[in-house]
A = this chain, B = another copy of it.
């Protein structure tokens, strides 16, 4: 599978490494060259410096041939906008987007789009950990 990842923060870099190790063709976009340092040394994909809502940059990252697109920058609006571009303009089949704001996420999901919200997930995991008496450390790593 060919995948374009927008944002090389911790989540983007971890995801890029995971996908690369699974044998997928990975291309990562970030506006900062420094961000690519987060990639593992054995990362075999490509990196593109630039703004991910710029179509030229997306094309350079291979969006036209991509099977999947993940938007994981720190900006919710940027992620939403880039995901829409990937879906509507470049017809990427699989588009996922990270949205921090739970309200924006539910609106986004109502539009039939796919978003994950670490805020809600994080709170739920902490809630579960606090509500249980068992050792949770190992579970959280899974």
**B18–A127 touching, CB < 8 Å:** yes
Residues of B near A135 (CB, < 8 A) are 114
A89 CB-CB contact with B under 8 Å: no
A94 CB-CB contact with B under 8 Å: yes
**A109–B141 touching, CB < 8 Å:** yes
- Give min CB distance, A76 to chain B, whole Å: 11
A115 CB-CB contact with B under 8 Å: yes
**A10–B102 touching, CB < 8 Å:** yes
Residues of A99-132 at the interface with B, using a CB-CB cut-off of 8 Å, are: 100-102, 105-106, 108-109, 112-127, 129-131
A39 CB-CB contact with B under 8 Å: no
A136 CB-CB contact with B under 8 Å: yes
Binding site for B on A (CB under 8 A): 1, 3, 10-11, 14-15, 18-19, 22, 68, 70, 72, 94, 96, 98, 100-102, 105-106, 108-109, 112-127, 129-131, 133, 135-138, 140-141
Question: Can you give 16 contacting A-B residue pairs, CB < 8 Å?
Answer: A3-B130, A10-B100, A10-B119, A11-B123, A15-B126, A18-B127, A68-B130, A94-B133, A96-B126, A98-B122, A106-B141, A116-B122, A116-B136, A118-B118, A121-B122, A121-B140
